Amino acid sequence: MRVAKTFTVATLLCITACFLSKETNAQTDFDAIMMNKNQFCSGLMYSSSSWKNYWEGTLKRDNQNLGTVSSKSVMYMANYGITNNLNVMIGAPYVWTKASEGTLHGMNGIQDASLTVKWKPVTIKYGKSKLSLFLLGGVSTPLNNYVIDFLPLSIGLGSTNLTGRAMVDYQYKRFTVTGSASYIVRSNVKIDRTGYYDTQGRLTNEVQMPNAAQYQLRTGYRGKYLLAEALLTNWTTLGGFDITRNNMPFPSNRMNATSVGANLKYTFKFHTNLSALAGANFTIAGRNMGQSNSFSVGAFYAFYFKKTGNK
């Protein structure tokens, strides 16, 4: 297998990238593909996400004072194969947000850097079937003190997150099914004001961030040049509170979302170091989040540090 084929992309590694938008398509830290030893791949991914309707608690509504809220991001990502079964990934996005109506000012800035270690400890082969187990550990943290408490236009939620994920991948010939479950420990965050009200008055600038869980199921075709998958993703915040009627959102809301999507990756035959990616994701259910549609495209280039490492 050639290196360049093995790479797909993370859009925003941190799902909490932008309130009410969540972008989980085409993530290397969610897929079952490994870089081989001493292979390095990096590239840029552009993502665009927008929503008009959102869930205020469980009530679905629109807001004429926001119109359509959109976020765009450009993310740099890199992946390196320490061994064939141990990869390390980094990423960092620049994010822009905007509301089409109303008077609120959009925001932009560098968001969170992430580092993920991906390990494939077990692979069982049986005829044309293959079953693999993956364990992933990740950390993400803000690269500056961007504004947290200006949702839905904040560029992120500001917490430092530790993610643990277990993933199982089954492959029969070119057909694959991958399932993963993640637990995300989120640090508390500090906002610019010294008091706030969530479900009671708080005389502090510190906000307790509930942890979260994420589940993903993906299935599709894993060919030599083309990779095509359908995705079902769920993000569940383990705690937090609902936005009250006609209130503004807050970082520690109980933000949940379920989305369906598709990912495509194509490795160019004429130059297999180069690959292109595209993805789309549609939120089908949620709570305290926007019903976002998101799209992404990207291009990646692979380098071979040691030819001998390749098979």
In the complex, which residues of this chain contact another protein (CB under 8 A)? 64-65, 101-106, 119, 121-122, 135, 137, 144-147, 149-150, 162, 164, 183, 185, 187-188, 191-197, 200-204, 206-209, 211, 244-248
Q: Could you tell me the smallest distance in angstroms from the CB atom of residue 193 to another protein?
A: 5
Q: Residue 155 forms beta bridges with which residues?
A: none
Nearer to another protein, 13 or 264 (CB): 13
Nearest CA to 19 out of 42, 62, 49, 59 is that of 49
Q: Could you tell me the smallest distance in angstroms from the CB atom of residue 145 to another protein?
A: 7
**Nearby residues of 36 by Cβ (< 8 Å), 6 or more positions away:** 1, 3, 6, 81, 84, 309, 310, 311
Q: Could you tell me the smallest distance in angstroms from the CB atom of residue 300 to another protein?
A: 28
Q: Could you tell me the smallest distance in angstroms from the CB atom of residue 219 to another protein?
A: 27
How many Cα atoms within 13 Å fall on the side-chain side of residue 247? 17
Nearer to another protein, 47 or 237 (CB): 237
Nearer to another protein, 42 or 123 (CB): 123
Nearer to another protein, 68 or 211 (CB): 211
Nearest CA to 13 out of 1, 27, 33, 34 is that of 27
Nearer to another protein, 172 or 206 (CB): 206
Q: Could you tell me the smallest distance in angstroms from the CB atom of residue 147 to another protein?
A: 6
Nearest CA to 191 out of 225, 227, 151, 226 is that of 151
Nearer to another protein, 8 or 180 (CB): 180
Q: Could you tell me the smallest distance in angstroms from the CB atom of residue 204 to another protein?
A: 5
Distance CA 35, CA 117 (A): 12
Coil, helix or strand for 3? helix
Distance CA 55, CA 58 (A): 5
